[in-house]
Amino acid sequence: MIFFGCAYYPWAALHVIPWFQYAVLLNPLVYANEGFRLALTPAMPHMPMPLVYGALVGFSILFTWVGLRKFESRALD
């Protein structure tokens, strides 16, 4: 999951494999790593800042909702 989360390379470097570049966007770690890269090395290529923040907020809302639903279903059993 870390390898496909763009921890070892920037997301923009995957432009040589376009299908893989868009497939890794399903991994929330991509946005976390790109956010760190954006903050620490602004001169390197990275995703646009609004996309990174939007995806992080979106995944946070999604996983919070799924976690609460699972907790509620198990707590009421």
- The torsion of the CA quartet 9, 13, 19, 25, rounded to 10 degrees, works out to 50
Q: What is the pLDDT of residues 13-69, one digit of tens each?
A: 888 989 988 999 999 999 999 999 999 988 888 889 999 999 999 999 999 999 999
Given a contact cutoff of 8 angstroms between Cβ atoms, the answer to whether 44 and 10 are in contact is yes
Instruction: Tell me what pLDDT residue 76 has.
Output: 83
Domain holding 29, by residue range, is 3-75
Q: What is the total count of domains within the chain?
A: 1
Given a contact cutoff of 8 angstroms between Cβ atoms, the answer to whether 46 and 12 are in contact is yes
The Cα–Cα gap between 64 and 4 comes to 23
Q: Whole-prediction pTM value?
A: 0.82
Instruction: Work out the pLDDT band at 10, boundaries 50, 70, 90.
Output: confident
Q: Mutual orientation of helices 28-40 and 49-75 as an angle, nearest 10°?
A: 140
